[in-house]
Amino acid sequence: MQQVVQLVERLGLTDAPIMLSGETGSGKEVVASLIQSKSKRAGCPFIKLNCAAIPKELLESELFGVTRGAFTGAETKAGQFEIANSGTVFLDELSDMPMEMQVKLLRAVEDRQIRRVGSNETRSIDVRLISAVNKLPELCVEKGVLREDLYYRLSAFHIPIPPLRERREAIPGLCRTLLKNFCDQAGRDVPRIDDAAMDVLKNYHWPGNVRQLKNEMLRLSVLANGVVSPSLLDSRIKMELVDVPAPEGKWTALQVLERQAIIRTVAVSYNMSDAARKLGLGRQTLYNKISQYGIEKPKKKGHGE
């Protein structure tokens, strides 16, 4: 993640379009905001739009604006590109944008002009575009949900955002920062996260990524009184603490937690590749750890490749 931050610092000096990719909740919007804050457009409008959340029949008017009478009930309104003029537009979940709208977006980006729905008048725009997809953009192109020409136009720089499980070293700092922010907002004393609770937080696989971690710190900012102990953690996270027999004294506390996580993840996963993905491990690494921890190998049925 440090490499991402360093790249963001450099990209702030350019106006090049940037495409972010990463799992839902991995922090793409946070990175987009950081890019904006480091750019020459800092202090100018920063408009964030989720393409998956806007009905497709309203997307064009939301982006480019609309004139009165363009459709039943329509009143003249500027679109987000006009509102963001001189600033930045962040288009999240770009691959959920209908293909016909992607064509219009490509034309607007290349011409640096937009046309309100129902109008023949073109308007010049000066915006920087940051877009995001929740899979590798090449895979989105291959699946036919992202136009290849739009992909190349919007990805002068492609920044993959790793999921939280692949940057566990960042978890303690994130936890303390988020917990402090929520407590400061509520006017509460900031609790200390004890070592046992932090061990669980670091070893949890965080399927919801940074978004899930943020929600957990919000919970703890309300519930904790002085110290965050494992008992206060959300039940999904506390599953890591359920006793799984292990030879006494054979492994460290962190290894015991990892062993527990592997046993439970393998038990509920469709196959070993799925289990490895959920745990943030390579498939062969997972097999090695199963052998290392003396875990009974799963039956082939339901756990094959």
Both 44 and 144 in one domain: the answer is yes
Residues of the chain with pLDDT under 50: 242-244, 301-304
Both 187 and 123 in one domain: the answer is no
The residue out of 123, 142, 162 marking a domain boundary is 162
302 within domain boundaries: no
Both 7 and 156 in one domain: the answer is yes
Q: By residue range, what is the domain housing residue 234?
A: 166-292
> What was the pLDDT predicted at 302?
43
Cα–Cα dist 235/237, whole Å: 5
Both 170 and 234 in one domain: the answer is yes
Both 199 and 146 in one domain: the answer is no
Both 129 and 202 in one domain: the answer is no
Both 211 and 288 in one domain: the answer is yes
Query: Which CATH number belongs to the domain containing residue 107 in this structure?
Result: 3.40.50.300
Cα–Cα dist 126/85, whole Å: 5
Q: Say what the pTM is.
A: 0.70
Region of 97 on the Ramachandran plot (φ > 0 left; ψ -120 to 50 alpha; else beta): beta
Both 211 and 90 in one domain: the answer is no
Both 202 and 90 in one domain: the answer is no
> What was the pLDDT predicted at 106?
97
The residue out of 106, 130, 162 marking a domain boundary is 162
Total domain count for the chain? 2
> What was the pLDDT predicted at 271?
82
Both 109 and 193 in one domain: the answer is no
3-state secondary structure of 81: helix
> What was the pLDDT predicted at 133?
96
Both 156 and 7 in one domain: the answer is yes
CB-count burial class (<10 Å; 0-12, 13-18, 19+) for 222: exposed
**Pairing, β 65-66 against β 77-78:** antiparallel
178 within domain boundaries: yes
Both 37 and 97 in one domain: the answer is yes
